Amino acid sequence: MAHIALPEGLPGITGGFAFRPETAKPMRELADILLHQPGSLSGGERELIATYVSSKNDCYFCQTSHGAAAAAHLGGDAVVKQVTADFQRAPITPKLKALLAIAGKVQIDGKQVTPADIAEARSQGATDLEIHDTVLIAAAFCMYNRYVDGLGTWQPTDQTMYAEMGKQLAQRGYSAPPR
Amino acid sequence: MPHIALPEGLPGIRGAMAFRPETAKPLNELVEILLLGPSTLTPAERELIATYVSYLNDCHYCQSAHGAIAAAHLNGDEDLVKQVKADFHYAAISEKLKTLLVIAGKVQRGGKNVTAEDIADARSVGATDREIHDTVLIAAAFCMYNRYVDGLGTTQPQDEALYRERGKQVARDGYISVSKTYLPTEALAR
């Protein structure tokens, strides 16, 4: 049971969003810009960063829903599982590996990011905007994850629900509540 | 020096926001609603929660900036802000705010640390569901803002007078209004 009286039947963050639509609006908009709107990193790559950080924060709802969104972008969940298990050995670009290393450090604490981490990302072709967005995606999921877990939201384990949610998020983004 | 080429002369989150005005917009809107929007918690109480979480995350810029805004709301009472950071249980704040700070501190370490007992304690001294919700979200949001500011290696001045001056300005005018002084004008027009 959730810690406060959230609207029933709404899983994870959607319960928090329905309880407080005023704060939901900028939180949705931020996710949409970072994960869905056009960028030089693909939707799949950005969802992998979000999934990886949510996995490190041990947030079941977020890692499962964003993992499903990443799988929808990538046409399957094999890479998603490899990234959360050990991204260094996953079939992803060296640039994304360097960005995931930065995201993992931000998850612990922003001060963990070193000039060497940034130099490595740059040497693999990462731009300043891509580094910025990686830091902010990682930071933002340290918020979303804590919000979802801190309210004790309902987090179903039905995988077909997450697969459907992932498809919708990959197609429609985050600016409107899921249908 | 920041990790990426942020606009010069803008300390902390301001440089990052000026670098990426698209994300600055929802980031400013969220903080404005949470810390200054209509609420049964005073702006000072909410700024103290933000300051406490930023202190736990060891973010110099955020704890100095929000500590100064809290003090501005408290008629310049910087000692109270210091007491809350040092040991809020002994600070001259309400029992309700103490229970909310306990919840905020647990969210800072990870949302699953919040227990049913923490919530019951907050309710027993008058906290509403909305106040508990906003406390959880303020704490969660500052785990984002703090990591954003530190993760980009932003410039974080040591001069307390600078934070004091800006604190008064934000307490008076709000986050969105003040952001117009450092965000590119073309971004604000969108």
Delimit the domains of chain B by residue range: 22-179
**Rg from Cα positions in chain A:** 16
Structural tokens at position A36: 């869905």
φ, ψ of residue B14 to 5 degrees: the values are -65, -40
Q: Is A119 on the interface with B (CB under 8 A)?
A: no
What pLDDT score does B103 carry? Answer: 98
Chain A nearest-CA distance from B93, in A, is: 23
Structure-token match 């049971």, residue found: A1
**Residue of A176 and A56 predicted with greater confidence:** A56
Alpha-carbon gap: B18 to the closest alpha carbon of chain A (Å): 12
> Smallest Cβ distance to B152: which of A59, A132, A145?
A132
Residue B69's pLDDT is 98
pLDDT computed for residue A1 by the predictor: 85
Confidence grade of residue A176 (pLDDT, cut at 50, 70, 90): confident
Q: Given this model, what pLDDT does residue B38 score? A: 98
pLDDT at B184: 84
Residue A179's pLDDT band, with cuts at 50, 70 and 90, is low
Q: Taking CB atoms and an 8 Å cutoff, what residues of chain B touch A57?
A: 110
Please write the tens of the pLDDT for every residue from A3-12. 999 999 999 9
Superfamily of domain A24-172: AhpD-like (1.20.1290.10)
| ipTM of the predicted assembly exceeds 0.90 | yes
pLDDT given at position B29: 98
Question: What contacts B83, CB < 8 A, 6 or more positions away?
Answer: B90, B91, B92
Which are the contacts of B161, defined by CB distance < 8 A and separation ≥ 6?
none
| Predicted pLDDT at B144 | 98
A56-109 residue pLDDT tens: 999 999 999 999 999 999 999 999 999 999 999 999 999 999 999 999 999 999
CA nearest B106: which of B95, B115, B114? Answer: B114
Q: What is the DSSP secondary structure assignment for residue B88, as one 8-state letter?
A: G
Chain B closest CA to A171's CA: distance in Å? 21
- Report field, pTM of the whole predicted structure over 0.95: yes
Residue A23 pLDDT more than 90?
A: yes
Residues in chain B closer than 8 A to A22 (CB atoms): 33, 37
Instruction: Kindly give the confidence (pLDDT) of every residue in chain B, 190 residues in length, as a single tens digit, with 9 standing for 90 and above.
Output: 899 999 999 999 999 999 999 999 999 999 999 999 999 999 999 999 999 999 999 999 999 999 999 999 999 999 999 999 999 999 999 999 999 999 999 999 999 999 999 999 999 999 999 999 999 999 999 999 999 999 999 999 999 999 999 999 999 999 999 999 999 876 555 5
Task: Report yes or no: A64 and A77 within 8 Å, Cβ to Cβ.
Answer: no
Give residue limits of the domains in chain A.
24-172
Taking CA A111 as the corner, what is the angle to CA A110 and CA A115, rounded to the nearest 5 degrees?
105
Domain at B22-179, CATH from 3.20.20.140, 1.20.1290.10, 3.30.420.40, 3.30.70.1400: 1.20.1290.10
**Hey, is the C-beta of A120 within 8 angstroms of any chain B C-beta?**
no
Please give the interface size between A and B, counted as residue pairs whose CB atoms are below 8 Å apart. 149
Query: Do residue A118 and residue B148 have CB atoms under 8 angstroms apart?
Result: no
Nearest beta carbon to residue A27 from set B30, B133, B148: B30
Report the first-to-last Cα separation within chain A, whole angstroms.
23
Residue A158, C-beta contacts closer than 8 angstroms, at least 6 positions apart: none
Which pLDDT tens digit goes with each residue over A105-155? 999 999 999 999 999 999 999 999 999 999 999 999 999 999 999 999 999
**Comparing C-alpha atoms, which of B157, B186, B159 is closest to residue B14?**
B157
Interface contact flag, B30 A144, Cβ < 8 Å: no
Give the pLDDT score at A178. 59
Residues of A in contact with B25 (CB under 8 A): 26, 29
- Residue B13: what pLDDT? 98
Give contacts of A 52-81 with B, CB under 8 A. 57-59
CA dist., res. A67 & res. B8, Å (int): 37
